[in-house]
Amino acid sequence: MARNTPLRTADRQVFELIEGETTRQENGLEMIPSENHSSVAVREALGSVFTDKYSEGYPGKRYYGGQEFTDKVENLAIERAKKLFGVEHVNVQPYSGSPANHSVYFALCEPGDVVMGQSLTAGGHLTHGWKVNFSGKIYKGVQYSVRADGIIDVEEARKLALEHRPKLIWVGATAYSRELPFDEFAKIAEEVGAYLAADISHISGLVAGGAHKSPVPHVHIVTTTTHKTLRGPRGAMVMVTKKGIEKDPELPSKIDKAVFPGLQGGPHDHQTAAIAVALGEALQPDFRKYAEQIVKNSRALAKSLAENGIKVVTGGSDNHLLLIDLTPFGIGKGLYGQEALEAAGITVNKNTIPAEPCSPFYPSGVRLGTPAITTRGMKEKEMQEVGEIISSALKIGCVHPFPEEKEKRETAIAAAKGAIRSDKGLKKLREETLKLCKEFPLHKK
């Protein structure tokens, strides 16, 4: 087959899978808060010939030839990130969020060192010292949590830090709906002499657009993925702040050495090109409006859910996400919530809630967010309607029993899933979702 044969002809099977996914996204509401819809320009850069190039090293210091354009594109991404976030140093090469965070450990810690982060079950991330992750196996992970009201327990974090003297402290979360207290964590890190890293993967688009306060004046290092609220390709960056360089002038070179050659080989230049495009988009004035609208939508959705009798952890949202507490329907109902919403055309993920009464595999909540539906152009008015659809779907799906006895669960779950998939009420809600999707098309023809 000719090398320039388009996918449609070259590989019908893969072509049809991509078509299927395109239609699924077009006809449903993607509300997993870590997802978004990237622009055609971002995806064009991602699919460019940069995918064919090897460029181990950094601009001006590569191990292979032919770097005229890779150097320029990487420098462009770096300069745009510096301008957007107001930082001194940026590494745009990490393949994704976990490798980016791994590079911070590799740069700063020795195996066995104490590190501290927000517990996974309280909304933190695996790579912030959780026991089954490298960060909790190679290093000694101390985990702070949230209070009964769902707000980060800064006092607990302070006590743990004074007791365990971590070398590295993380502030950042994947299932936390309120502003992150960067300033409070800066005081804690100062007190124990720790490096403070903010993982803003979820909220970097909000920070870039001025809709969430910036960690930059408070922390030494900032990590972020590029594909969530920032709306770029999958990828990540590690940034060093002025405060970071004041604490440790070697920090930029420590991070760079940790990424390459410490953890990675050749950077993904196509990914770097697409990150540059996304950063260019985020520097435009309309990105600020987008970021503000994400938060307005999240607040409007929380209000609509509350009005429809659905319990939201912390009672609302300051950012792009909401955590729904399904315990009023019984424990372990997250899976049923996720299934019912999927049947209604809305994609979310089941999630633990603070002080989870069941288990991480059968959690009692669902996590959802507004970045992707805001990209479609939806505003507060639509959030009222989306909140009504979600509430109705949860009330249908979460009535099915979830047995406390483990041996009875498999049968009960199969029965619940079957009932949810054939439920007429959910089918009707699916029609309402589809109508909204048609009003706010994703790929305008």
Give the β-pairing of 365-369 and 321-325. Answer: antiparallel
44 a catalytic residue: no
Distance, in Å, from the CA atom of 221 to the CA atom of 309, rounded to the nearest integer, reads 41
158 a catalytic residue: no
Where does 27-169 have alpha helices with state H? 40-46, 68-85, 97-108, 134-137, 154-164
Q: Report cis status (omega within 30 of 0) of the bond before 261.
A: yes
Nearest approach in angstroms of CB 376 to ligand DSN is 19
Choose which of 57, 97, 244, 369 interacts with ligand DSN (CB under 6 A): 97
Q: Which of 140, 234, 409, 417 is catalytic?
A: 234
Contact between 34 and ligand DSN by CB under 6 A: the answer reads yes
Q: Which two tokens stand for residue 411?
A: 């049968």
Nearest approach in angstroms of CB 95 to ligand DSN is 13
Nearest approach in angstroms of CB 119 to ligand DSN is 14
- Tokens 């066995």: give the residue: 112
Contact between 119 and ligand DSN by CB under 6 A: the answer reads no
Nearest approach in angstroms of CB 34 to ligand DSN is 3
Q: Which of 228, 231, 243, 350 is catalytic?
A: 228
| Torsions phi, psi for 442 (to 5 deg) | -85, -40
Beta carbon nearer to ligand DSN, 234 or 288: 234
Give the residue nearest to ligand DSN (CB).
34
Contact between 363 and ligand DSN by CB under 6 A: the answer reads no
Contact between 177 and ligand DSN by CB under 6 A: the answer reads no
Residues 364, 324 contacting (CB under 8 angstroms): no
225 a catalytic residue: yes
CA angle (362, 33, 316) in 5-degree steps: 85
CA angle (440, 305, 343) in 5-degree steps: 60
- The CA-atom distances, in angstroms, between 310 and each of 293, 387, 395, 405 are 22, 9, 9, 26
Contact between 370 and ligand DSN by CB under 6 A: the answer reads no
Beta carbon nearer to ligand DSN, 130 or 362: 130
380 a catalytic residue: no
| Torsions phi, psi for 99 (to 5 deg) | -60, -35
Choose which of 174, 224, 317, 433 interacts with ligand DSN (CB under 6 A): 174
Beta carbon nearer to ligand DSN, 125 or 350: 125
Q: Which positions touch ligand DSN (CB under 6 A)?
A: 34, 97, 125, 174
Residues annotated as catalytic are 54, 56, 199, 225, 228, 234
